């Protein structure tokens, strides 16, 4: 679990780095320009780390499934070699899918001075702004969304369905609580990540508002990765104690 957490933390840092520094420069300089190469570069790394977040959360749900449903075989199944292989495969898959998106994007024509209705170069928005045929790009976008988003989320749902089924068969309430407490942090992160992602989709479909879509996007590109280390740290007793003292101190002020 800690091996996967360290990878998730690294990916979250990189994920934020693809959008936030440029956004801060735009605010500081009061200029929202980005070059064609800069936009493609931002898009490429954004897709890599977004896909890695999906894959790592799925792998971590599988790790919890093995730990709770097959505790006696955990060390045999989740060997270090398998953990490294799963992470490495995630990097390779996302690297090639993101590269294919960029290669398809290069084939499109764009008007000079195109305005992107977003605070970063987002794939779906850029495809909509193309002046040439985007049929192949859209097809590949749907396929990659299923591969990098729907399938991992389905894997998470399957893992937790098995975990819940295993918890229901436990006779001791203490054992149920102890087993489920190891999943709370992961469940919180998954709910936050996919909940905000769903919010981005719904805001773009229902409202067609740039502001609503930007706020929802900021939640899953900035706020969610920032909260992930904090959520997992709450399992640490020292962090819990420090948070409790902070809240008590804040509550004592009028």
Domains of the chain: 1-171 (1.20.1070.10)
Distant-in-sequence contacts of 131-138, Cβ < 8 A, 24+ apart: 132/107, 132/108, 134/108, 136/104, 137/101, 137/104, 137/105, 137/108
Q: How many CB atoms lie within 10 A of CB 252?
A: 7
* Range of weakest confidence among 35-44, 104-113, 184-193, 227-236: 227-236
Compute the radius of gyration of the chain from its Cα atoms.
21
Of 226, 223, 221, 201, which Cα lies nearest the Cα of 213? 201
Residue 26 has what pLDDT? 84
Of 8, 2, 47, which Cα lies nearest the Cα of 190? 8
Position 24 pLDDT exceeds 60 = yes
Fill in the DSSP letter of residue 1. -
Of 144, 110, 150, which Cα lies nearest the Cα of 127? 110
Contact 61, 190 (CB under 8 A): yes
Of 132, 108, 127, 109, which Cα lies nearest the Cα of 117? 127
Residue 116 has what pLDDT? 81
Average pLDDT score over the chain = 84
Distance, CA of 123 to CA of 40 (rounded, Å): 9
Q: What is the distance, to the nearest Å, from the Cα of residue 191 to the centroid of all Cα atoms in its chain?
A: 11
Residue 34 has what pLDDT? 87
Q: Which residues contact 164 (CB under 8 A, 6 or more apart)?
A: none
Distance, CA of 53 to CA of 193 (rounded, Å): 9
Rounded to 5 degrees, φ, ψ at 171 are -85, -30
Residue 99 has what pLDDT? 95
Position 190 pLDDT exceeds 70 = yes
The model's confidence at residue 227, banded by pLDDT at 50, 70 and 90, is: confident
Distance, CA of 146 to CA of 152 (rounded, Å): 9
Residue 168 has what pLDDT? 85
| CA pseudo-torsion sign 156, 161, 163, 164 | positive
Residue 96 has what pLDDT? 95
Give the pLDDT mean for 131-146.
90
Distance, CA of 224 to CA of 192 (rounded, Å): 6
Q: Which residue has the tokens 């800069």?
A: 38
């Amino acid at each position: 679990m800690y091996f996967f957490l360290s990878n998730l933390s690294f990916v979250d840092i990189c994920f934020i780095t693809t959008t936030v520094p440029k956004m801060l420069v735009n605010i500081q300089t009061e200029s929202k320009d980005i070059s064609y190469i800069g936009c493609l570069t931002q898009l490429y790394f954004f897709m890599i780390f977004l896909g890695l977040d999906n894959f790592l959360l799925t792998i971590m749900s599988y790790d919890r499934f093995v730990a709770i449903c097959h505790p006696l075989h955990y060390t045999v199944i989740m060997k270090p070699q398998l953990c490294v292989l799963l992470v490495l495969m995630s990097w390779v898959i996302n690297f090639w899918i993101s590269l294919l998106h960029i290669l398809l994007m290069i084939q499109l024509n764009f008007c000079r001075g195109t305005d992107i209705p977003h605070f970063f170069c987002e794939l779906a928005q850029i495809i909509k702004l193309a002046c040439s045929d985007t049929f192949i790009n859209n097809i590949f976008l749907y396929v990659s969304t299923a591969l990098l988003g729907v399938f991992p989320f389905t894997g998470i749902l399957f893992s937790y369905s098995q975990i819940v089924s295993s918890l229901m068969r436990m006779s001791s309430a203490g054992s149920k609580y102890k087993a489920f407490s190891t999943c709370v942090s992961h469940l919180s992160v998954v709910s936050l990540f996919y909940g905000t992602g769903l919010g981005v989709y719904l805001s773009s479909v229902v409202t067609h508002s740039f502001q609503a879509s930007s706020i929802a996007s900021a939640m899953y590109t900035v706020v969610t990765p920032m909260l992930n280390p904090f959520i997992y740290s709450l399992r640490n007793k020292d962090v819990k104690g420090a948070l409790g003292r902070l809240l008590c101190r804040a509550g004592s002020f009028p």
